[in-house]
Structure formats: structure tokens, C-alpha cells
Amino acid sequence: MQNVNYIFLLLALLAEIVGTVGGFGSSVFFVPIGNFYFDFHSVLGLTAIFHLSSNLSKIMLFKKGLNRKLLLQIGIPSVVFVILGGFLSKILDSVILEIILALFLIALSSLFLYKKELVIPANKRNAISGGALSGFSAGLLGTGGAIRGLTMAAFNLEKNAFIATSAFIDFFIDFSRTFVYYKNGYIHKHDLIYLPFLLVIGLVGTFIGKKLLHYIPQSKFKRISLFLIMIIGLATMLNILIN
């Protein structure tokens, strides 16, 4: 196990815990962290595999809160566009797209934190649009959960319902993009040494995150999620500047 970076694994665990508490999955933290240790395409492959176990854990722990209507409205366009984004990731300049994503997350989360009364209208059109955008971002950049989180926040779901619905959508996204990334050559044999560790981290991180949720009042849940999204944007921008 000399080739295993245990600091990376510890950071992956923290990403899973925070992603569970925030309700939008660990990839929004895992991708920026992973980019410090691996090339961009390897991170995409690892993220898809890691997320499969992570979201299965969330589904098992939070499944009673599932909102089936949002699952269809957000989930279907997410799956369609994650496949498109996955194929385009091999063609388009990912650095420019990461900068756009970082600025988008920082600006939008800041706006919602400052304008507390401002909400995205909770309607079918916005659900479908948010699903398409988050799926496309997930396929192209490895992370789209924050965009989906902003979309779902408009519907003011109870926190268990928020996490369960997001996890179900995320599972189908990851399942779809794993095949695309494999075809693109992003899943490398030498990176698979991390797979058993990431499977365990997905289970343990989700469990710890669920326990922490008991201490977070519903009234503060949305605000915490927005703060986490802002941190994601800043972390993404920092990673771009460093590299």
C-alpha cells in the first residue's frame, strides 16, 4: 500500500461527510481535492466510481424521504445531459469550463445568502432546466451536485427528503457516466487501488453525515448548504489558480 496517499483518503472522507450534510453529494468537494493529486480525467473516473457507493449509502439511509415527482423532473434530464457532457469532456477545454462553474457557484450562492427572500420559482420548467444543467456539468466537470442543490433548494424540501431525492438522482447520473468515462479511457487500472478505500469511505462518511444532521435545525439547513456551495466555488477557483 505504499502507493496509496492517505491524506487524500482523509480529505475524501471529509468531502463525503460535508457533502452528506449539504445534501448535494461529495463530488463538489471531491473533484477539487482530487485535482491536487491526480490528472483531471483520472479524477472524473474516480469520482463516478466513488459516487456509486456513496449514493447507495444515502439511498439506504434516507430512502423514506424520496420525492418521486422531483426524481423524474430533475433526474431524467440529468441522465440525458450527463452522457452528453461526458462525451464532450474529451473535446472541450475543461479549464475554461471550471472557471465558469466556479464563478457561477460563488455568485449564485452569494446572491441567495444576501437576498434571503429570493427564491427560484418552484416549477416544472426550472426543475427540468436545473436537472439538465447539473447533469451536463457532472459529465463535463465531474461535479453538478451544487447546481442541483440550488435547484432543489427552491422546493424547500425537508432535509431527509432533500438528501434522499438528490442521492437517487446522483446514483443514476453516476451509473450513466461511468460507462462514458470508461469508453473515454478515464478509468485507469493503476488508480483502482483506491477503489476499496473509497467504497468504505462512501459508507462511513454518509453514516457520520447523517448523525450530524440530527444537530442541524431545518431552518439552518438551506443556509448551511449555500455556504458550502460558496466554499466549493472558492476551492475550485483556488485549484485552477494553483495549477
Q: How many Cβ atoms sit within 10 Å of the Cβ of residue 173?
A: 31
87-112 tens-digit pLDDT: 998 888 777 877 877 888 788 788 77
148-200 tens-digit pLDDT: 877 887 787 777 788 788 888 888 998 899 999 999 988 888 888 888 898 88
| pTM over the 0.85 mark | no
Position 28 confidence tier, pLDDT thresholds 50, 70, 90: confident
The pLDDT value given to residue 139: 92
- State the cell numbers at 229: 456551495
Between these two residues, 83 and 119, which has the higher pLDDT value? 83
- State the cell numbers at 206: 454518509
Cα gap 176→168, rounded to integer Å: 13
Nearest to 104 by CA among 135, 137, 75, 82: 137
Cα torsion angle, 120, 218, 200, 66, sign: negative
Residue 44: pLDDT over 80: yes
The pLDDT value given to residue 118: 61
Position 74 confidence tier, pLDDT thresholds 50, 70, 90: very high
What DSSP character marks residue 117? T
